[in-house]
Amino acid sequence: KQEVTQIPAALSVPEGENLVLNCSFTDSAIYNLQWFRQDPGKGLTSLLLIQSSQREQTSGRLNASLDKSSGRSTLYIAASQPGDSATYLCAVQEDDKIIFGKGTRLHILP
Amino acid sequence: DAGVTQSPTHLIKTRGQQVTLRCSPKSGHDTVSWYQQALGQGPQFIFQYYEEEERQRGNFPDRFSGHQFPNYSSELNVNALLLGDSALYLCASSLTGTQYFGPGTRLLVL
């Protein structure tokens, strides 16, 4: 059974710092991996999607990596801003369903 | 091109009532999946519909049922509502593989 774990559960960093969010999954037979952002009381915003054959994706200040063999992914945020404060969810897709982690609550201190 | 849409955006019901949530998939998509996100948790897979049939189901009781129409739109029905059914309900559509999420319906059961 696929399990997705995100560490840390919560993180507070000063504005301007670079940071890394971690995600691990137990079964490497995945179709893709996505990182989502979720603001309080809102839906999901897809940030980056990495297909199983890819190793990383970049969008602006965000970079996500995927190592299927070790069951790990990282989301790197450069030069963090207060507007980056949100919950970040890691999710892996297997065939017909997506399995999510519980998320990392990120707070950027002005 | 309209993305995935869901209605209503918010809903308040009382215990024991029944509720129907609606989802219109992204244009060209033929598969709809439903997820439940309880407060502080990652979304959990409820079920998936393809060609008007339930193709796969997560660990949810029979009180949760669904339907897919010939135009690929879908409904999620929950009977005999419990307080614990209060959550954000997310719909995702796909054609082959990657799922795209709607904004969700927030259900509060009193």
pLDDT more than 90, % of chain A: 90
pLDDT at B3 over 70: yes
- Mutate which of B37, B59, B86 to test chain A, going by most A C-beta atoms within 10 A? B37
- Contact criterion met (CB below 8 Å) for A13 and A79: no
Reported as a pLDDT band with limits 50, 70 and 90, residue B98 is confident
Of the candidates B35, B55, B106, which has its C-beta nearest A96's C-beta?
Answer: B55
Residue A36 zone, left/alpha/beta (φ > 0; ψ -120 to 50; rest): beta
**For residue B99, pLDDT beyond 90:** no
A44 CA to chain B: closest CA distance, Å? 7
The per-residue pLDDT for B1 is 62
Q: Of B43, B55, B100, which has the smallest distance from its Cβ to A100's Cβ?
A: B43
Q: CA nearest A38: which of B94, B1, B104, B108?
A: B104
* pLDDT reported for residue A96: 80
How does residue B27 score in pLDDT terms, banded at 50, 70 and 90?
A: very high
User: By a Cβ cutoff of 8 Å, what residues of chain A touch chain B?
Assistant: 4, 31-32, 36, 41-44, 46, 49, 89, 91, 93, 95-103
Confidence band for B42, pLDDT divided at 50, 70 and 90 = very high
| pLDDT at B97 exceeding the cut of 90 | no
> In the predicted model, is pLDDT for residue A20 greater than 90?
yes
State the smallest CA–CA distance between residue B64 and chain A in angstroms: 17
pLDDT at A15: 97
pLDDT at A63 over 80: yes
What is the mean pLDDT of the segment spanning B46-66?
A: 95
What mean pLDDT comes out for the span B9-24?
98
Stretch among A52-56, B50-54, B88-92, B96-100 having the lowest mean pLDDT: B96-100
CB contact set of B19 (below 8 Å; sequence gap of 6+): B11, B13, B77, B78, B81, B107
Task: Kindly determine whether residue B48 and residue A97, on different chains, have CB atoms separated by under 8 Å.
Answer: yes
pLDDT reported for residue B96: 78
Query: What average pLDDT does this structure show over B56-85?
Result: 97
Contact A36, A93 (CB under 8 A): no
| CB contact at 8 A, B35 and B89 | yes
- pLDDT for B34 equals 98
CB contact under 8 A, B99 and A44: no
Q: Are A38 and A87 in contact (CB under 8 A)?
A: yes
Identify the residue among A30, A44, A51, A92 best suited for mutation to test binding to B, counting B beta carbons within 10 A and taking the highest.
A44
Nearest of B75, B64, B70 to residue B22 by alpha carbon: B75
- Asked if residue A23 lies in contact with residue A5, where contact means CB atoms within 8 angstroms, the answer is yes
